[in-house]
Structure 1
Amino acid sequence: MIITDYWGIQVARGQGCRALSSYQAGENNPVSFTYGELDAVVTRMGAGLAALGVEKGSVVSCQLPNGWQMTALFLACARIGAVFNPLMPIFRERELRFMLGHARSHLLVVPKHFRGFDYASMAEGLRTDLPELRHVLVIGGDGHNSFEQQLLEREWEKHCDTQALFAERRPQADDILQLLFTSGTTGEPKGVLHTSRTLLSNIIPYAERLGLGHEDIIFMASPMAHQTGFLYGLMMPIYLGAAAVLQDVWDARTAIRIAAAERPTFTMASTPFLADLIELAPDNGDALTSLRFFVSAGAPIPESLVEKAGNSINAKIISAWGMTETGAATMTRPQDDPERAIYSDGVVLPLMDVRVVDDAGLALPAGSEGHLQVRGASLFVGYLKRPDLYGVDAQGWFSTGDLARMDAQGYIRITGRTKDVVIRGGENIPVVEVENLLYKHPAISAAALVGCPDERLGERVCAYVTLHDGYTELSLDDAVTFLLEHSLSRNYLPEYLEVLPALPRTPSGKIQKFKLHERAANIRIDPAKRR
């Protein structure tokens, strides 16, 4: 079965059942759809996309906050066999120019404005560099590029036989369904390719481990352009036939107001979301008492948070580990003691395997630190146009780039990363990309980024630099201004900068980042100066 089969089952099962409610910042009431109502929208959009020239296998990109339009667009793409490519709203011209060009995107959907930024102008400005981008549709736009006028207001379903169209375009389980870019150590994003089979092979055992069903209410404030939000806020409710409740801009007070109204039973997010909710929970009565599970991944969960959660909300705190390439591959179990969520990242989900190996690729005994490898049904099928980076061996093992230990019961603990990536609030920071930009600063002769510990976000970005002769100082504000002038996303900006007389290096000249990690371990960024 593919995802549209599950959608058809849910529509047939309960056309009048609520499919989703979409909350937008600044609006008091959500936009809500039943399964029947949303199915009619999806049918019209699918026919409209085909009329605009989107072929089977074409890439449709969108840079959208959480909202009903993303769910509808994904389903419309799936019905006509198009590849869905969600892009994080934090990306700007430089990232988008590469991603859209690399994907050869046929169509891009953006909001007119979001959080004070003009996405419509940015998208139109990119078109001269992207000849294969035939259409830019703007939610809330006017005229020929209006998303509403092009896909919603015209009765496309009356201009063709949609049943025949969708049958002809129906993708197979192993056809590419999703393209999601992830930042790595190569200096440019990698396009991760997933199919219906790989994505459902993660969602189904994930939902079964937690005992989720169609009566659950799924709350998602994690971005749906990130694998967490996409898998468990967009696709999982479709598989379950459950209601999804979406929040576009994270604000803990708004989330609590939504929870009081919607009574969600499940959510998944990084630890800062959990910390924010727990801080406000004691002053908000029973607003969060409906929540059965809070799954957290991307960084270790501080012991204090688990203790506070036990005192202020009913939710079981579940710890998980995963990647864009796999979805959540390990999770603690609902019946586990709370300490498991504090001191482990869970045990492997069904249909997947994990192991810890030494430098030679040989399995290590329990308790030994080594390289974490993963294989199984939810493993991605490759990187777009980069077969050289698809490091899967003959036995199907994929090297994650993480260091880990596994205990005798199979629970893993991530202990470090061999990949050169800082994880800030669950979001990968493309270290090489930021370093390359810093090297362009006229004062900087060398630069290295590492993470410094932070109780709320897990890590914050620290920059160590040396200066060219003739320069004696460089402030953090100077560096940030320079990076912003070069269109770097704000989420990637360093929050600490130190000028050193020299960076620690090996005899061959390679920067010894472990020494910088040791130096950064004692840094505590003043909350008043945090970005």
Structure 2
Amino acid sequence: MITSNPERIDKLTRAGVWGEDTLHQLLTHHVAERPDMLAVADQPNRKELTPGNNARLNFRELDQASDALATALLEAGLGADDRVIVQLPNIAELVVCYYAASKLGIVLSPIPVQYGAHELRHVAAEINAQALITCERFKSTMLAREAKSALPEIKILCWEKEIPTLAELVSAGPAEHSRVLDFQRQHPVTANHIVTICWTSGTTGTPKGVPRSHNMWLATAQGTAWAGDYQTGDRLLMPFPMVNMAALGGFLFSSALRGCSLVLHHPFDAELYLQQLQDEHINFSVAPPAVLNQLAKSPELWQSLDLSSLRAIGSGAAPLAPWMVERFEQDYGLQVINFYGSNEGISLHSTPATAPSPEIRATMFPRLGVPGLPWEGMRPGVITRVANPETGEVVTEPGIAGELLIAGPTVFDGYYGGNNEGVFSDSEFFRSGDLVEICGEAPAYPYYRIVGRCKDIINRGGMKISPTEIDLMIENFPGVAEAAVCAYPDERLGERVCACLVMADATPTPELGALQEWLLARGLAKFKLPERIQVLDALPRNALDKVQRNALTAIVEKLPT
């Protein structure tokens, strides 16, 4: 399956931003150059999560296992361009699946283990899936049984049942390799073939399938590897589910690109995560902003560990707190990198090289592809601009919120199924749905600041309020563990602002007046002040751990004021 038209392929290939490498061809290179180097390692508590023994595979073993799995998939009647759902936690078998699919030209559609029957049926119907690969269980959830119940019409391939154990795959002989090579000669896979269909987070509607080719993923991986300064032989700790941009572009494809060891983790367990950072001598990792905030407040914990191998740590999915970035830098001697990406192909990074100031790095991203700025040529082919979301008029002045548009080698061709009305502007620019402002020092104004989502905007009496900046401020309020604001209906103003808080243990709910005075003292405009506080046990999040603001509003509407 190829979604890019010949003109786009030719343009990006001639520009040198798309090439000929596929995921499995990169593996072949590493097998030749460093066969005994660690390729992938399970987390220590793997047996508590799912059946199977803890695995540590070198590149040669990863190649052998993916050959044997590819052969098993051929024997199951699967092959080039077939769409196969995979629902597995972060275990070595999932990595093997990606490489096996790449070798056969199978389009793999990874989904979170949290997806249930409703989501399974939706995904299978959308892509006309031929099979689903899973395991018996994840914790107490019986994945294989639930998949067979939800999707009786397609093949359900369960590890250690329909698929041999990982140990058996690793020990397979050369016959599997020969069969895979024979298949590849008849069905050649190029870098422009679609290798995955991932799914949007679905915070504003039904999840949409995002087809991405090897070239799209590797263009993203180039940026991540540059931002994290990945070196051959580095050890990368991946704590996010291997189903979307953060894990695939940030770790799977970039580790293949640079020849790095991939150490797995998930679901997130702070104590285990820190232990892995130390014991696995990790060079680079990422963590959610809330976790880094807590670590920044816990110097005794951080200093009790030997993290001398750690070169930098990344974060994203929400604005970072400048004080956290500064504390990591000054007290821990560790640089924090700010990542901003999406399955569709947004791929921006704020690093010490582009944003030396913690204040800038926490909240701003370089305006890539804009002529005359310092970043010209930094990410070849990536072009960004800002436009009025209603009129499409390009915004060039600072301080005016507009929709971020992006084009270039990282961007997909359109959602699976062809329903792409309004997705692109001028044919090539993806409309991100994210509101940004041009900012930074005059006269260049070289940065973007994310101010919210087009559909997240709170309309208080005609005054448009971006919630993310308020989230960030409230998260630093004493005793608050997590915070997110949302709209709630008001007869007079249309909408008002509610602060939804998760409090630290034994911390009482703050008085509304105290919170308002605290925010005013930090410069927040009065019309943006929360006019209601709602304490929750947890913020509603989707399977990819993003706060669902529409769900927050629904909760708040049902609760008494």
Match status 1:293 vs 2:312? yes
1:342 aligns with 2:362: yes
User: Given the alignment, which residue of 187, 193, 212 partners 1:169?
Assistant: 187
CA distance in 2, matches of 1:529, 1:372: 30
Letter in 1 for 2:257: Y
Shift in Å, 1:86:
0.8
CA contact (8 A) 1:44 1:157 kept: no
Paired AA for residue 3 in structure 1 = L
Counterpart in 2 of 1:351? 381
Aligned partners of 1:271 and 1:457 also within 8 Å = no
1:31 equivalent in structure 2: 55
Structure 1 Cα separation of the partners of residues 229 and 166 of structure 2 = 41
**Deviation digits for residues 299-337 of structure 1 (CA, Å, limit 9, x no counterpart):** 110123223323553321111222110152343344622
Q: Which residue type is aligned with residue 84 of structure 1?
A: L
**Is 66-75 or 15-24 further displaced after alignment?**
15-24
**What does 1:153-168 correspond to in 2, within 5 Å?**
155=172, 158=175, 161-168=179-186
Is residue 224 from structure 1 mapped to residue 254 from structure 2 by the alignment?
no
Q: Within 2, Cα distance between the matches of 1:80 and 1:20?
A: 21
- Which residue in 2 is equivalent to 1:415? 451
Counterpart of 2:90 (choices 66, 72, 78) is 66
Aligned to 1:181: 199
Deviations 1:158-190 (A, max 9, x none): 366332223333322222111001134763111
Alignment of 1:37-186 (within 5 A): 37-128=61-152, 131=153, 133=154, 135-139=155-159, 141-142=160-161, 145-146=162-163, 148=165, 152=169, 155=172, 158=175, 161-184=179-202
Q: 1:12 aligns with which of 32, 54, 60?
A: 32
- Assess, with a 3 A threshold, how the Cα gap between structure 1 residues 49 and 69 changes in structure 2: closer, same or farther: same
C-alpha separation in 1, matches of 2:425 and 2:310: 41
Aligned equivalents of 1:151, 1:382: Cα separation in 2: 39
The alignment status of 1:329 with 2:329, answered yes or no, reads: no
Q: Secondary structure in 1 aligned to 2:420? A: helix
List runs of 5+ in structure 2 lacking aligned partners: 1-19, 369-378, 459-466, 491-499, 501-508, 510-526, 541-561
Q: Please say if residues 335 and 352 of structure 2, whose CA atoms lie closer than 8 Å, have aligned partners that are also in contact.
A: no
Structure 2 letter corresponding to 1:313: Y
Change (3 A) 1:462 1:406: closer
**Matched residue, 1:393:** 425
Q: 1:343 to 1:463 in 2, by over 3 A?
A: closer
Instruction: Give percent identity, aligned residues only.
Output: 22
**Among 330, 335, 338, which residue is 1:316 paired with?**
335
Query: In structure 2, what is the Cα distance between the partners aligned to 1:121 and 1:344?
Result: 46
The TM-score, its normalising length taken from structure 2, stands at 0.72
**Distance (whole Å) between structure 1 residues aligned to residue 164 and residue 122 of structure 2:** 24
Partner of 1:212: 230
SS of equivalent to 2:148: helix
Q: Which runs of 4+ in 1 moved over 6 A?
A: none
SS of alignment partner, residue 383 of structure 1: coil
2:151 alignment partner AA: R
Structure 1-normalised TM-score?
0.76
What is the letter of the counterpart of residue 329 of structure 1?
A: L
Partners in 1 of 2:457 and 2:96 — Cα distance?
33
2:218 to 200, 214, 217: 200
Residue correspondence of structure 1 range 381-460 to structure 2 within 5 A: 381-389=413-421, 391-394=423-426, 396-407=428-439, 408-420=444-456, 453=471, 455=475, 460=484
Q: Aligned partners of 2:481 and 2:415: how far apart in 1? A: 28
Per the TM alignment, residue 524 of structure 1 is displaced from its structure 2 partner at its CA by 5.4
Compared with structure 1, are the counterparts of its residues 239 and 521 closer, same or farther at alpha carbon in structure 2 (3 Å cutoff)? farther
1:264–1:529 distance in 2 versus 1, CA, 3 Å: closer
Contact 1:462/1:520 (<8 A) preserved:
no
Task: Find 1:373's aligned residue among 369, 381, 405.
Answer: 405
Coordinate RMSD, CA, aligned = 3.2
Q: CA–CA distance in 2 between the matches of 1:267 and 1:34?
A: 20
Amino acid at match of 1:376: G
- Which AA in structure 1 matches 2:110? P
Counterpart in the other structure of 1:480: none
Q: How does 1:455-470 map to 2 (within 5 A)?
A: 455=475, 460=484
Select the residue among 238, 256, 270 that pairs with 2:256: 238
